[in-house]
């Protein structure tokens, strides 16, 4: 239960634009898995030069749709 609480509380204090490390922390992923997620077409990420980013709102919508799809 504590693990779920930590993930939920982390989403409440996320910055407006997230990095792969931020997503990794929220979802509990490895570094490689987080970057694989950023490369998927259904994941609403974007690039700034060589850096990957995702808007917090887009990430939250993606998470909600992923949960609904289960």
Average pLDDT over all residues of the chain: 86
**What is the third-level CATH fold of 2-68?**
Arc Repressor Mutant, subunit A (1.10.10)
Closest CA to 55 of 31, 38, 33, 41: 38
Q: Is the whole model's pTM more than 0.85, yes or no?
A: no
Residue 45 and residue 16: Cα distance in Å, rounded? 13
pLDDT tier, 3 (very low <50, low <70, confident <90, very high otherwise) = low
Write down the pLDDT at residue 58: 96
65 has pLDDT over 70: yes
Of 1 and 14, more confident: 14
Q: pLDDT by residue (tens digit) across 33-53?
A: 999 999 999 999 999 999 999
Domain boundaries, the chain: 2-68
């Amino acid at each position: 239960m504590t693990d779920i609480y930590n993930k939920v509380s982390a989403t409440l204090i996320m910055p407006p634009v997230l990095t792969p490390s931020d997503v990794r922390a929220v979802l509990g992923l490895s570094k490689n898995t987080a970057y694989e997620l950023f490369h998927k077409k259904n994941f609403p990420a974007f690039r700034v030069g060589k850096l990957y980013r995702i808007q917090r709102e887009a990430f939250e919508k993606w998470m909600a749709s992923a949960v609904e799809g289960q």
